[in-house]
Amino acid sequence: MNNCLCFCWQRPKVLTVEDKLVVLGCKELERKVVEAEMELTLAKSQGYLKNQLQQSEPSSGKKLLAVIGVYTGFGGRLRRNIIRGSWMSKADALAKLEARGIIVRFVIGRSANRGDSLDRNIDEENHALKDFLILDHHEEAQEELPKKAKFFFSTAVQMWNADFYVKVGDNVDLDIGGLVELLWSRQGQDSAYIGCMKSGEVVAEDGKPWYEPEWWKFGDRKSYFRHAAGSILMLSKNLAQYININSASLKVYAHDDISVGSWMMGLKATYIDDSRLCCSYSGQDKVCSLA
């Protein structure tokens, strides 16, 4: 390597055979570096890094079907208890689900005033029931909600090795049996972005519901791109890993479902529009409804 540097700086006018060999060696080394960088970029785009995969392995070494994160907030205890009283009704419900390869956790961040009564109440509730995924680096606030998706998918994929990672709103009544059946039918499908796909108007007027401060980025027609509705959406493991690896550089918009959809647009993700995940759907086979 020193020879390469020395030659590049001195630039001798007459090249000896030895000098030419050094030049060829430098070019070969440069070619290998470029190839390695290209391979690394490809690996990142597909969501694969060796150390990330190792971090994702659960302590038991068991491969899971899905990690389901139910979004909640500091004022959501009543709703959490309703959910616990439905499809998480028995004391051993979580253990039985985990035996079937399903992890379910309420997902919440930390208070802006770290360690205050809001944080302590959640810690006490979690100590008693052990059904939270607490995002220590995320501030739990309405205006921070779009960032929560990055923290949830990144944290979940590092903690558990699953085929799918599922985000669910706490205003959703879930048919867990139907959801598990849906997930089994998709098992082994990489790059799957699954949900109730929709698009809609970009609200450009400040003060109106669903206002998008960066409305101008969506063109003259001001229509959102196709994306999975935020009530419930699923990502396969490699897409969740992509979010984890690239979290620092991923742009968020005013709404979390739009943010996730924008991340998927730049990838070779397979969009799967499943009407069973449309919570307003009236079919008997739907797996969710709005509470």
Q: Taking the domains of the chain in order of start, what are their residue ranges? A: 2-46, 50-290
CB atoms under 10 Å from CB of 197, counted, come to: 19
**Closest C-alpha to 243, from 224, 217, 270, 261:** 261
Kind of pairing between the strands at 172-174 and 132-139 = unpaired
Whether CATH 3.90.550 fits 50-290: yes
- Please state the rounded mean pLDDT for residues 39-62: 51
| pLDDT computed for residue 24 by the predictor | 64
Kind of pairing between the strands at 227-236 and 192-198 = antiparallel
| pLDDT computed for residue 85 by the predictor | 86
E strand or H helix at 53, and its extent? helix 50-56
User: What gap in Å lies between CA 221 and CA 196, rounded to an integer?
Assistant: 22
User: What gap in Å lies between CA 119 and CA 134, rounded to an integer?
Assistant: 10
Tokens of 266: 């730049």
Angle at 275 between CA 189 and CA 102, to 5 degrees: 50
Residue 83 has pLDDT above 70, yes or no: yes
User: What gap in Å lies between CA 49 and CA 58, rounded to an integer?
Assistant: 16
| pLDDT computed for residue 56 by the predictor | 42
User: Can you give the pTM of this predicted structure?
Assistant: 0.76
Residue 136 has pLDDT above 60, yes or no: yes
All residues at 6 or more sequence positions from 74 whose CB lies less than 8 Å from its CB, including other chains = 108, 111, 118, 121, 122, 140
Look over the chain and give the mean of its residue pLDDT values, rounded to a whole number: 83
Tokens of 261: 């959809």
Which residue bears the tokens 């098992």?
187
Highest mean pLDDT among 30-44, 90-104, 272-286: 272-286
